[in-house]
Amino acid sequence: MDQHDIVVVGSSAGGIPALISLVRGLPEDYAASVFIVQHVSPNAESILPRILSYSGKLPAAHPRDGEKIKAGHIYVAPPDYHLLVEKEHILVKRGPKENLFRPSVDALFRSAGYMYGPRVVGVVLSGYLNDGTSGLWTVKRLGGVAIVQDPKESLYRDMPANVLEYVKVDHTMKVSEMGPLLATLYGEKPPPMPEVTAEDMERIQAEVVIAAQGNAYEMGVLQMGEVVPISCPECHGALIRIEEGTVVRFRCHTGHAFSADALLESISSAIEEELWKAISRIEETNILLNRLGNHFADTGQGRLAEFYLKKAGEAARKAHAVHEAIYRYQMSPVETLVMKKKGIPKA
Average pLDDT, whole number, for the chain? Answer: 91
Please indicate whether residue 261 is annotated as part of the active site: no
Predicted confidence (pLDDT) per residue in 43-77, tens digit: 888 999 999 999 999 999 999 999 999 999 999 99
Predicted confidence (pLDDT) per residue in 238-273, tens digit: 999 999 988 899 999 999 999 988 898 888 888 888
From 4, 39, 82, 256, the catalytic residue: 39
Rounded to the nearest 10 degrees, the angle between the axes of helix 15-24 and helix 178-186 is: 50
Going by C-alpha positions, the residue among 109, 242, 125 that lies closest to residue 174 is 125
Specify whether the CB–CB gap between 235 and 256 falls below 8 A. Answer: yes
Half-sphere exposure of residue 209, counting CA atoms within 13 Å on the CB side? 14
Predicted confidence (pLDDT) per residue in 115-155, tens digit: 999 999 999 999 988 899 999 999 999 999 999 999 999 99
Specify whether the CB–CB gap between 104 and 80 falls below 8 A. Answer: no
Distance between CA atoms of residues 11 and 22, nearest Å = 12
Which parts of 105-252 are beta strand (E)?
120-124, 145-149, 171-173, 226-231, 238-244, 247-252
Its pTM stands at 0.86
From 4, 11, 12, 126, the catalytic residue: 12
From 4, 5, 82, 131, the catalytic residue: 131
Please indicate whether residue 62 is annotated as part of the active site: no
Half-sphere exposure of residue 86, counting CA atoms within 13 Å on the CB side? 16
